[in-house]
Amino acid sequence: MCGIVGYTGKREAYPILLKGLKRLEYRGYDSSGIALQQDQHLQVYKKKGRVAELEELLLGKGLHAHIGIGHTRWATHGEPSDRNAHPHVSQSGKLAMIHNGIIENYAPIKQELVSKGYQFHSDTDTEVLLNFIEEIQTQNACSLEEALRIALKRVVGAYCILLIASDDPETIIAARKGSPLVIGIGKGEHFLASDASPIIEYTREVVYVNDYEIAIVKPDELILKNLGNEKQTPYITRLDMELSAIEKGGYEHFMLKEIMEQPETVFDGLRGRLLAAEGKIIMSGIEQHLPAFLSAPRIIIVACGTSWHAGLLAEYLIETFARIPVEVEYASEFRYRNPVIHPGDVIIAISQSGETADTLVALESAKAQGAFIFGVVNAVGSSIARLSDAGAYTHAGPEIGVASTKAFTGQVAVLTLMALKIGYAKGTLAEADYLNLLLELEQVPEKIREILSQSAHIQQVANKYKDATDFLFLGRGYNFPIALEGALKLKEISYIHAEGYPAAEMKHGPIALVDENLPVLFVATRDLYYDKVVSNVQEIKARKGKVIAIITKGDTILPEMANDVITIPEAHEAIAPILSVIPLQLLSYYTGLAKGYDVDKPRNLAKSVTVE
């Protein structure tokens, strides 16, 4: 949700900013821009559209500067346009600023500034904040840093901002609350960005800036202060990420690369944790807090989007194996409906990015009520990971495609391990079943590989149905969350209206939609519900709907009924969902591709939703 990048040092700033913006483009791609400072002068360039369009605009301009900031936008206040693109310049022309977040009380501040004669050239809250800072500096005759501090005490909302001034050839002033900021420490240079991807090829030493901190960044100096003007000690961490992980590696799209990586990423999530031959699961985060899980009257899972679907699946797994009641909450609803949290309740937060504002805010409020928070997070060092009392990383590696794929299977792998570990420790999961499930889990990476080898067939199915206007995804039991996830993937990537439903619930309403034009995808693997799902397939066929079925290898019944089938290897019904989701990811990828859409950057979306 907006990517920001900054540089101060001896190198040419522009190429660093441009490359950084390309890496951060997954966070927003409505418009982009840069501001460079040279010879007491700010040069600002911005353009509606992708970073490539900005690059084209700047081709041959011979931009030279050693300090600069860049931004790629996901629009909140004001439509995507050149004038609303960042950086914004203050009324005097002396300050340039970029912002990721939302200033909620911008309207009264804007009124105040307009009454003082300020004119605005965009519809953004960012321009308001920038002029507010300038006004405070003018009125108080204080430093820019001081003016920023005063302004931030008055604003409500979320922000990560970078600010440069025409009269300062060295300093970037940054601040964060609720939106991420990483500072890379080089030799006589500093790099600033929303995540580590623009930084990794220059340095591995980074500082994650905390909420309510201001950073004064010069080539040779990094000062961190809180809003009370007290110096804070920067905590330097080492990046554990390879450059290849954020490149396409020969694939046409990140989404395809990330789907294809899943045998390895799921393996990485299980590695060192699943010792099937020894009958053990090692998860230090759980072991250290086992009494909290064993005595929990209730587990509340908080997440958004695809991560919420992983949470829904975890409800089935935890209730089955550990017999602990589970509630799965949309983070955005949980926060504002004043939820009842009992002492002893355990909260599991699930997030790929670890920066999703809805989830973060929900957790902050639960934490303030004394809840114990266990994070299942992919992005190492992210805000949710740091806020959690304990957790387990999913180890899926950086996920760049806006549609979540490998992060989902990583989440499912970790949540399955958790459910089995807690269930076994609690005595609600019998040893023989536990050992069998461990062996099943160990085979998952190989089985995913087998499914991926059918991608050509799945592409054919996608091409056949690509012109459908609507799609229904149905599943029961463990396959219900997978039906929801399949529908979300298809919507995001192909813009086809798709709904996921419990297969049996279909007859209570959605069946009215069924006619010869409606493809209905059944996740119909061999499980407890199989015979009932077969009856649901018949109900669709009787109304001339087109049936696509995800079935278990060896099934001879559904191939006779369905228009198209995609098979997955045999697996225990609790393990099957991590497999049955793979064809749905490929189906949506190939449908989006066939329709000529940008599957890595679908319209209106952003990878990391850092506004509420």
The position carrying tokens 């340095």 is 203
Measured CA to CA, the distance from residue 499 to residue 489 in angstroms comes to 10
| CA atoms within a 13 Å half-sphere pointing along the CA-CB vector of 549 | 27
Q: How far is the CB of 359 from ligand M6R (least distance, A)?
A: 5
The contact set with ligand M6R (CB under 6 A) reads 304-307, 351-353, 356, 359, 402-404, 492, 605, 608-609
Nearer to ligand M6R among residue 87 and residue 602 (C-beta) = 602
Q: How far is the CB of 606 from ligand M6R (least distance, A)?
A: 8
Q: Report how far apart, in Å, the C-alpha atoms of 33 and of each of 55, 421, 563, 572 are.
A: 9, 49, 49, 51
Measured CA to CA, the distance from residue 244 to residue 252 in angstroms comes to 15
Residue at shortest CB range from ligand M6R: 305
DSSP per position, 336-349: HT-----TT-EEEE
Q: How far is the CB of 30 from ligand M6R (least distance, A)?
A: 16
Nearer to ligand M6R among residue 200 and residue 357 (C-beta) = 357
CA-CA-CA-CA torsion sign (86, 90, 94, 100): negative
Q: How far is the CB of 328 from ligand M6R (least distance, A)?
A: 14
Nearer to ligand M6R among residue 225 and residue 386 (C-beta) = 386
Q: How far is the CB of 497 from ligand M6R (least distance, A)?
A: 16
Q: How far is the CB of 355 from ligand M6R (least distance, A)?
A: 7
For the question of residue 142 being annotated catalytic, the response is no
Structure tokens at 462: 């996608």
Q: Is 124 exposed, middle or buried (0-12, 13-18, 19+ CB in 10 A)?
A: buried
| DSSP character at residue 81 | S
Please say whether the beta carbons of 422 and 322 come within 8 A. yes
Q: How far is the CB of 356 from ligand M6R (least distance, A)?
A: 3
Measured CA to CA, the distance from residue 611 to residue 100 in angstroms comes to 9
Nearer to ligand M6R among residue 63 and residue 484 (C-beta) = 484
Please say whether the beta carbons of 400 and 378 come within 8 A. no
Nearer to ligand M6R among residue 136 and residue 385 (C-beta) = 385
Structure tokens at 137: 């500096």
Nearer to ligand M6R among residue 76 and residue 608 (C-beta) = 608
Closest CA to 248 of 578, 493, 26, 486: 26
Query: Strands 519-523, 564-568: parallel, antiparallel or unpaired by DSSP?
Result: unpaired
Residue 524: CB partners within 8 Å, gap ≥ 6? 475, 479, 503, 530, 533, 534, 537, 549, 550, 551, 558
Q: Report how far apart, in Å, the C-alpha atoms of 582 and of each of 90, 397, 536, 566 are.
A: 49, 18, 23, 11
Measured CA to CA, the distance from residue 355 to residue 352 in angstroms comes to 8
Which of 22, 110, 177, 607 is an active site residue? 607
For the question of residue 607 being annotated catalytic, the response is yes
Structure tokens at 238: 């080492």
| DSSP character at residue 9 | S
Q: How far is the CB of 552 from ligand M6R (least distance, A)?
A: 26
Which of 2, 22, 304, 421 is an active site residue? 2
Nearer to ligand M6R among residue 182 and residue 540 (C-beta) = 182
Query: Strands 346-351, 372-377: parallel, antiparallel or unpaired by DSSP?
Result: parallel
* Catalytic sites, residue numbers: 2, 607
